Amino acid sequence: MKKLATVLAVAVIAVVATAEKAQAIPAFAKAFTERYVNTSKNADFVAAAKEKKCNLCHFGTSKKNKNDFGKTFAKHFKKANYSSTRVREEADAVKKEFDEGLKKVLAEKNPAGKTYKSLIDAGKLPGTVEE
């Protein structure tokens, strides 16, 4: 009985320790903030973006819930390609990928037919939650 309890405890710990946590990649948020929030002259946009943080791309309590901007972002950036180790060790390559990828993301249109870049230029947040 003690062996069974020990095996079950080890199994539970192994599952919990290896489970992938649903969270936004800090490098994505940092890249967007550096390129668009910190360089914006629109105080309302800056304040709204800083308040929303992860909710620029996500909604609700689960980071698996992505709004239209988050879904577009996910098409161009695969989470598996941006581990903290790679972001740190290949900083120049990652920066170039972010620059190119963000241009593609912002050139795409939202469901209302406006580009994400035009929304940001107008001082509006890019993502909307689907109803």
Average of pLDDT values for 57-79? 91
Closest CA to 21 of 72, 81, 79: 79
pLDDT band at 16; cut points 50, 70, 90: very low
Closest CA to 108 of 117, 99, 100: 117
pTM of the model: 0.74
**Mean pLDDT (the chain, rounded):** 84
CA 31 vs CA 26, 101, 108: distances in Å: 9, 11, 18
